[in-house]
Amino acid sequence: MIKAILIFNNHGKPRLIRFYEYFAEDVQQQIIRETFHLVSKRDDNVCNFLEGGSLIGGSDYKLIYRHYATLYFVFCVDSSESELGILDLIQVCYITLLYTYHLQVCYITLLYTYPLQVHFILQEVVMGGMVLETNMNEIVGQVELQNRMEKSEGGFSAAPARAVSAVKNINLPEMPRNINIGDINIKVPSLSPF
């Protein structure tokens, strides 16, 4: 199970928080601060796992994070999740994010401009603390369909829709469309049938 997903910037300002277990608002902020404190003092070339802080989790929980330029993506997961799998999943989230709404350079403003849209992407990846989908094509497809639906309703605000259309006009050679979370698509060898 995933207990929480936190995205914050290099200064610890939250950009997205998603708890799959109830915490009061002030505790949430405390958790963010604590997590930021733990994560921010780590070099970039050290491992991406951290034994959980005191507020969130306990011995069974781990913080798994990635640091992209100005943003930290932190997942708090228990022992039922594969550490490497979650790392790949973070990558998937991130790339989907860039892919759906923006370009690789502008991610700094990304979460400023479309805070809710990031939630919508995340909802297609993780649901209620469990991993829903890992295939990026599928995720992107569903998000785009929903955004299109929103647009057909007149749009809540025009901006995201504009962004979507902008994305469509841009070709992204360096963004492979078929990212299947790293190596997780290996054919299993034939085993003796039982």
List residues near another protein by CB under 8 A.
Answer: 1, 14, 16-18, 20, 22, 25-26, 28-29, 43, 45-51, 80, 82-85, 87-88, 112-113, 115-116, 119-120, 123, 127-135, 138, 142, 145-146, 149-150, 153-157, 159, 181-194
- Residue 106: CB minimum distance to another protein, A: 14
Nearer to another protein, 130 or 172 (CB): 130
Could you tell me which of 71, 62, 60 has the C-alpha nearest to residue 36? 71
Rounded distance between C-alpha atoms, residue 11 and residue 26, angstroms: 18
What type of residue sits at position 108?
I
For tokens 């007149």, name the residue: 154
CB 17 within 8 A of CB 6: yes
Secondary structure (3-state) at 117:
helix
CB of 168 to another protein, least distance (A): 20
Q: 12 with 36: CB under 8 angstroms? A: yes
Identity of the residue, 170 or 194, whose beta carbon is nearer to another protein in the bound complex:
194
Name the residue nearer to another protein (CB basis): 69 or 158: 158
What ranges in 43-190 are assigned the alpha helix state H? 83-101, 107-113, 115-125, 136-152, 158-169
Closest approach of another protein to the CB of residue 92, in Å: 11
> In the complex, what is the shortest distance from the CB of residue 100 to another protein, in angstroms, rounded to a whole number?
15
Decide whether 105 or 149 has the Cβ nearer to another protein.
149
Nearer to another protein, 25 or 174 (CB): 25
